[in-house]
Every structure is written in C-alpha cells, then in structure tokens.
Amino acid sequence: MLRVEDVHLSFGGVKALQGVSFEAAKGEITGVIGPNGAGKTSLFNVLSGFYTPSTGRVIVDGQDISGLKPNARAELGMARTFQNIALFRGMSVLDNIKLGCHTRLNTNLWSALRYFGSAQKEELELRADLEERIIDFLEIDHIRKAPITALPYGLQKRVELARALAMQPKLLMLDEPVAGMNREETADMARFILDVQEKFGTTVLLVEHDMHMVMDICSRIVVLNFGQQIAQGTPDEIANNSAVVDAYLGQAA
C-alpha cells in the first residue's frame, strides 16, 4: 500500500530525514519508532504532503504521489491524526466527525450554500452512515452531541480517530494515538486500531512511544534515529536488534 523510496528532508543545515526507505503492506499495521527528534513526525508530514522532500518518492497503492497537495492525497484515501489534538473546539463531536467526509461529498457549492435538495439528502445519508459505521464502532454515541471542550483527553483522541475514519481511508496514519493516556484508555485505543484493521481492511502506519502497544499490534516496525533509518523488521527482530536497543529501547528484556 505504501512505499517510501530514499526520502531526504532538510531544513537549512538540519537534516530531518536521510535516505528513509520502507514499505507498509496492505491491510497490516506498521509501526514507526525512535527517540524524540528522530524524524517520525517529519516523515508523517512528508507522507501527508505538508513537507516536500529534497529527494525521494512516496508511492501509495501503486501511484507516485510525491507531487500531490494534501487535499489530493486525502481524496486518494490517506487520512491521519495528529500528535497534538487538532479538533475544532467550538464544534460538537458529530460536526467534527462529519468534516472528515468532505472529500467524499458530491454536492456542488451552490447546492451546499442553499442546503436544499441533493445537499440536504446527501448530508442526512452521511450522518446515518457515520452513526452506524463509526460512532457505534468507536463507542462514542453517548457524546455525539457534546462540545469538544467538554470531553476528557482520551475521548478527544477517539473523536479524532473517528474523523479520520470518516474519510474512508485506505491508508490511516496515526501520530502517537495513545500519548498521555492511562492504561485503560491505551488498551481501548489499541483494540480499536486492531478492529479498524480487521473490519475495514485498512492499512495503518503508526508512530508511537508505547513499546508494549507497538510490539503487540504491529506486524512490522521501522526504526528512525537522528533522521536515519537504522532498522526494520518484525517486532521480535526489532526487540533483539543491538542498534535499536542502544539507540532507543535500552536493555533488552
């Protein structure tokens, strides 16, 4: 589903990514790990189209998307969450989630402004689909009318995942989805991510510092350190890789 080929990214004299190359298999969960400043979020921003790499290519589902803007990548089936929650705080849970569907709407601007006929019908059908397919799936029906500001952190993270899923992504990129969560919230999020993979067949690319979760749910793991890719492999291979242990994991268990 995803192939990253020799991606370099620099900011002046700072080399954020240096020759990163890996693949994420269709329908699997691939983890990206490394210490703070390793280049993980920079990689996500390159994949999303927010940053343009100095050299290298990004290929999704067989198509070279290196020159596409973020909105065009979203239309191709790429969605992401953010390390810092990026919800619209003045809106309700349901309205935040519905925004994720805009790439799937067919209504023209005039119909949307009038909110009449096809525009109204399409939004009502969209809302019914969201309530059945995503809101119930993520167990957030009880808060769908609540304002975002009234929700605890863990539920806000779940709403952000719901908004990404509303885009019906082929490739779902999750940037530290359990950062700041307690053990119970982390277990719930890990379960939801596995269910997304199983129910929707979605390819997941996951940046996360919780190594227990990464080792449990990922099929393969890519390791970055100071912008360089130092390893990739199965969880067992990564856990026993001396370079990864020295750079990030510490003493092997």
pLDDT 10s digits, 119-151? 667 667 776 777 678 888 999 999 989 999 999
Q: Which of 217, 253, 182, 250 is nearest to 35 (CA)?
A: 250
Check whether 197 has a pLDDT greater than 90.
yes
Residue 104 — very low, low, confident or very high, per pLDDT cuts 50/70/90? low
Q: Which domains does the chain have, with CATH numbers?
A: 1-77+169-253 (3.40.50.300), 88-162 (no CATH)
Q: What is the mean pLDDT of the chain?
A: 89
Check whether 253 has a pLDDT greater than 50.
no
Residue 252 — very low, low, confident or very high, per pLDDT cuts 50/70/90? very low
In the numeric block, which tokens belong to residue 187?
């277990």
Check whether 173 has a pLDDT greater than 80.
yes
Higher per-residue confidence, 202 vs 104: 202
pTM, two decimal places: 0.88
**What mean pLDDT comes out for the span 51-65?**
95
Check whether 250 has a pLDDT greater than 80.
no
Higher per-residue confidence, 246 vs 205: 205
Check whether 89 has a pLDDT greater than 70.
yes
